[in-house]
Homo-oligomer: A and B are copies of this chain.
Amino acid sequence: MDQRVVTLDNMNPHVIKMEYAVRGPLVIRATQLEKELQAGAQKPFSVVTKANIGDAHAMGQKPITFIRQVVSICLTPTLLDDPSFPDDAKQRAREVMAGCKGSSLGSYSDSAGIESIRRHVASYIQARDGHPSSWENIILCSGASEGIRGIMKLMVRHDNGNKPGVMIPIPQYPLYSASIAEFDLHQIGYYLDESTNWGLDLSEMERAYEEAKAVCTPKALVVINPGNPTGNVLSRENIEAVIKFAHERNLFLFADEVYQDNVYADGCKFHSFKKVTSEMGAPYNQMELASFMSCSKGYMGECGLRGGYAEVTNMDPEVKTMYLKSISAKLCPTTLGQAVMACVVNPPREGEPSYEQFLTEKKGVLSSLAQRAKMVVEAFNSVPGMSCNIVQGAMYAFPQIMLPEKAIAAARKAGQEPDVFYAFQLLENTGICIVPGSGFGQRPGTYHFRTTILPQPEMLKTMLEKFREFHTKFVEQYQ
Give the B-binding residues of A (Cβ under 8 A): 1-8, 10-16, 18-20, 22-23, 31, 50, 53, 55-61, 63, 68-69, 71-72, 75-76, 79, 82, 100-102, 104-111, 142-143, 145-146, 149, 153-159, 174-175, 178-179, 182, 219-220, 250-252, 283, 286-288, 296, 300-306, 314-316, 318-319, 322-323, 325-326, 328-337
Stoichiometry (number of copies)? 2
With A76-B68, A76-B69 in contact, do A316 and B145 touch (Cβ < 8 Å)? no
B336 x A334 contact (CB < 8 A): yes
B16 x A322 contact (CB < 8 A): yes
A101 x B12 contact (CB < 8 A): no
Q: Name the 7 nearest CB pairs between A and B, nearest first.
A: A58-B101, A304-B335, A57-B104, A58-B107, A57-B106, A23-B328, A178-B329
B106 x A304 contact (CB < 8 A): yes
In this complex, which of A1, A75, A110, A306 has the most chain B Cβ atoms within 10 angstroms of its Cβ? A75
A109 x B304 contact (CB < 8 A): yes
What is the CA–CA distance of A322 and B303 in the complex, to the nearest angstrom? 24
Further pairs besides A31-B110, A55-B108, A146-B330: 11, Cβ < 8 Å: A4-B288, A6-B252, A8-B319, A11-B157, A15-B326, A16-B322, A57-B100, A61-B102, A82-B82, A106-B301, A306-B332
A153 x B12 contact (CB < 8 A): yes
Chain B residues contacting A333 (CB-CB under 8 Å) are: 306
B252 x A303 contact (CB < 8 A): no
Chain B residues contacting A179 (CB-CB under 8 Å) are: 329
Chain B residues contacting A58 (CB-CB under 8 Å) are: 101-102, 104, 107-108
A106 x B157 contact (CB < 8 A): no
Chain B residues contacting A79 (CB-CB under 8 Å) are: 72
Closest B residue to A151 by beta carbon equals B6
What is the CA–CA distance of A459 and B82 in the complex, to the nearest angstrom? 33
Chain B residues contacting A6 (CB-CB under 8 Å) are: 154-155, 219, 252, 288, 315-316, 319
Least Cβ–Cβ distance between A101 and chain B, in angstroms: 3
A57 x B107 contact (CB < 8 A): yes
A5 x B250 contact (CB < 8 A): yes
Least Cβ–Cβ distance between A57 and chain B, in angstroms: 4
Closest B residue to A19 by beta carbon equals B325
B306 x A334 contact (CB < 8 A): yes
Closest B residue to A338 by beta carbon equals B304
With A69-B76, A101-B58, A107-B55 in contact, do A250 and B337 touch (Cβ < 8 Å)? no
A175 x B329 contact (CB < 8 A): yes
A329 x B101 contact (CB < 8 A): no
B10 x A325 contact (CB < 8 A): no
Residue from the list B69, B251, B296, B325 in contact with A5, Cβ < 8 A: B251
Chain B residues contacting A69 (CB-CB under 8 Å) are: 76
